[in-house]
Amino acid sequence: MKDINHAQFTGDTLLIGGASIIFARSFKRELDIYRLISGSKINYRKCSIYGWNCSIKELSDIARLLEMDGIRNWESFKYLGIPIFKSKPKVAHWLPLLDKIKNRIQAWGASWLNNAGKVTLMKSVLISMPLYQSSILLAPKTFLSKLDSLLRRFLWEGGNNNDRRIHLVNWETLKRPFLEGGLHLRNLAAQNLALGSKILWNLVSGNSSWSKRVIWKKYFQGQRLRCLDKPPRSLKGSPIFNLCNSAREQFSDYLYWIPSNGRKIKIWEDSILGDQPLNQVEGLANIKDWLQSCNLHTLWDILNWKEAPDRTWDCWNLGRSPLCCRGKLLYC
């Protein structure tokens, strides 16, 4: 998407362009115009230029023109609290979040808390702390393992980690629902995939938007409503795509169509009202061949077939929503 040149949210602005004086002058002009019109001042101490695939001289000239610090050797920086990576994400990028959770536990002390109080703090605070970052990025297994270990020690040994107490119940048992004998602690890996499924749901449902078009056009094929039916263009992509791709297969199993006029519903390939696609039902080969010979491929074709003996299929005209998601992760 070469047309994207900036991202802006409240006071944080990210400008994207080529490493050249021409781009730098354009940015300088726009910043000066904004400053004159709004009466605001730009805090250049909080501004930085991150360059790659450019020479030291080019970066120095641009930094001198924009009056900002130029950083050439970098791995990541944060925008709105989310790391922006130069290359592949690493476990080290998640360690600051792990340190925050450790500091929170040490600040509590928790030597005076009983197990019920610790479980309450885990559910309301500790497990929720990675929520924001894991809603955009796929959490490494190493990070999830370390976080699980940290939570286990907090529950059984206390916040100061002085007592080497025995862990009386298996951790996987504690993560089960109440009805299955657990404490209903969130599975962090499943939570991460659920958040990726939310991005996919926003992608295929509702009206099109700028962010939806970026993900759809860059990584997926076909129409937006059906872009999950085909494999992605490539298995390599941005960190947000890695999260979406990890959740794609499981998420697709929970998608089904609710008929309205039936124009977009393929009667053999699509799951309708939660039932399995007719392609997976045995004994319908003759019916499929007959319908295809009559050029009937969608539900709309059947509803509007002039030679149909009756209109019993009209009972399927339930509403206007073309796509629905079932299951525990998402609801429409």
CA angle 149, 151, 156 (to 5 degrees): 95
Amino acid (one-letter) located at 135: S
Residue 193: what pLDDT? 94
Is residue 87 in a domain? no
Domain count, the chain: 4
Is residue 232 in a domain? yes
pTM score > 0.85 for this model? no
Are residues 98 and 180 located together in one domain of the fold? yes
Are residues 304 and 228 located together in one domain of the fold? no
Residue 143: what pLDDT? 94
Are residues 33 and 100 located together in one domain of the fold? no
Are residues 275 and 301 located together in one domain of the fold? yes
Is residue 127 in a domain? yes
Are residues 127 and 48 located together in one domain of the fold? no
**DSSP helix/strand/coil, 155:** helix
Residue 278: what pLDDT? 85
Are residues 270 and 324 located together in one domain of the fold? yes
Last residue of a domain, one of 253, 283, 305: 253
Residue with tokens 């998640």: 94
Is residue 80 in a domain? no
At 277, list the tokens. Answer: 């696609």
Question: Own/partner pairs for 231-239, CB < 8 Å, 24+ apart?
Answer: 239/85, 239/89, 239/136, 239/137, 239/138
Residue 281: what pLDDT? 84
Are residues 241 and 266 located together in one domain of the fold? no
Are residues 129 and 214 located together in one domain of the fold? no
Parallel, antiparallel, or unpaired for β 48-50 and 69-71? parallel
Are residues 32 and 55 located together in one domain of the fold? yes
- Domain range for 230 is 192-253
Full pLDDT tens readout for the chain, 332 residues:
456 667 767 678 888 888 889 989 988 998 889 889 988 888 888 889 998 888 889 999 999 998 899 888 888 888 888 888 888 888 888 999 999 999 998 888 756 788 888 899 999 999 999 999 999 999 999 999 999 999 998 888 875 555 667 788 888 999 999 999 889 999 999 999 999 999 999 998 888 888 888 899 999 998 888 888 888 988 888 889 999 999 998 898 888 888 878 888 888 888 888 888 888 888 888 888 888 888 888 888 887 776 554 444 443 443 333 444 443 333 22
Residue 110: what pLDDT? 58
Are residues 54 and 64 located together in one domain of the fold? yes
Are residues 166 and 103 located together in one domain of the fold? yes
> What does the alpha-carbon distance between residue 13 and residue 8 come to, in Å, rounded to a whole number?
4
Is residue 1 in a domain? no
Q: Is 220 exposed, middle or buried (0-12, 13-18, 19+ CB in 10 A)?
A: buried
Is residue 172 in a domain? yes
Are residues 265 and 234 located together in one domain of the fold? no
Is residue 79 in a domain? no
Among 269, 133, 111, 128, CA closest to 185: 128
Residue 269: what pLDDT? 84
Residue 164: what pLDDT? 67
> What does the alpha-carbon distance between residue 103 and residue 159 come to, in Å, rounded to a whole number?
10
Is residue 231 in a domain? yes
